Amino acid sequence: MTFFVKYDFDLACKTLLKEHLDAFEITYSLGSMGEVKIKGGLSDEQRNSLATSLKRYGIEILDSQKITLVERIKNAIDELLKDKDLKSIKVSTYLSDNLHYSYAHLSSIFSESTYTSIENYIILRKVDLAKELICNTDLTLTEIAFKLNYSSVAHLSGQFKKTTGLTPSSFQRIMKKKINYTVNPKT
């Protein structure tokens, strides 16, 4: 038997973090965008045990200030892309206001660490979100384009094809065939 699931990645990560921090009896508060504020600090032993415990779920405690800032930028972008109330805000303004650095500084750190620009990262994330929406919802391409703040379906299709090599329609057909095949395999 095969079945498919839909999940909220942010909620899953926060729940895992809470469960592990509670199990280690650590006093904490979860900030926005992957930030955990520990009250009182951690011993080296606690930190190593927590890091080991979280690592098996793909959650990593970051040490470098640059890497931490890059992750905060990525998380802020994800938040911006998923929140329909933030559509009209410019990315540069949103990042500067939320991370308390100039956009030039954020852009420089991001490019230096990831070898891509914030703008290219946003395009990649929007295409990933479009794939998720194509696979997990019944939204039309027009609705997906609107939801992801594209000016038109043509704009979405152009970026999608440039990134994946497929049009959104082709991707949708392939995924439907894949789902149908896994549900009703031909033996």
pLDDT in tens, 10-38: 788 888 888 988 988 888 888 766 778 88
> Tokens 């699931």 — which residue?
5
The pLDDT tens digits for 134-176 are: 988 888 999 999 888 888 999 999 999 999 999 999 998 888 8
**What pLDDT is stored for residue 130 in this prediction?**
93
CATH number of the 120-183 domain:
1.10.10.60
Give the number of C-alpha atoms closer than 13 A to the C-alpha of residue 132, restricted to the C-beta side.
14
**What pLDDT is stored for residue 57 in this prediction?**
86
Q: Name residue 183's amino acid.
A: V
- Residue 39 in this model has a pLDDT that exceeds 70: yes
**What pLDDT is stored for residue 109 in this prediction?**
92
Burial profile 122-132: b = 16 or more Cβ within 10 angstroms, e = fewer: ebebbbebbbe
pLDDT above 70 covers what percent of the chain?
A: 93
Q: Where in the chain is CATH 1.10.10.60?
A: 120-183
